[in-house]
Amino acid sequence: MYIVAIGWAYVILMMAITASSIGKALAILIFLGVLPLALFVYTFDRPSRRRRRSVPVVEEVADQRDGSDTQSDQH
């Protein structure tokens, strides 16, 4: 996924460098570079964000295990 974003950023940067004025170069960078790349990364990074959100915090899991294991250890 990131190789596509890096390639797109390179192409847009080259387009901006060859623009005839600074205003056009900035417009190219913003409207063809930054905004589409932000949308692309946000969209394609969604599964990993969801995975990170669904994995419980290690301390919470450890606390839950400690509380439930004490009764079985008392035998």
pLDDT computed for residue 3 by the predictor? 92
- C-alpha to C-alpha distance for 10 and 2, rounded to whole angstroms: 12
Buried/exposed code over 8-34 (b: 16+ C-beta within 10 A; e: otherwise)? eeeebeeebeeeeeeeebeebbeeebe
- C-alpha to C-alpha distance for 10 and 71, rounded to whole angstroms: 60
Q: Residue ranges per domain, the chain?
A: 2-65
3-class SS of residue 57 = coil
Digit-coded pLDDT (tens) for 41-55: 888 887 777 777 776
The answer to whether 12 and 32 have CB atoms below 8 angstroms apart is yes
Digit-coded pLDDT (tens) for 53-75: 776 655 555 555 555 555 555 65
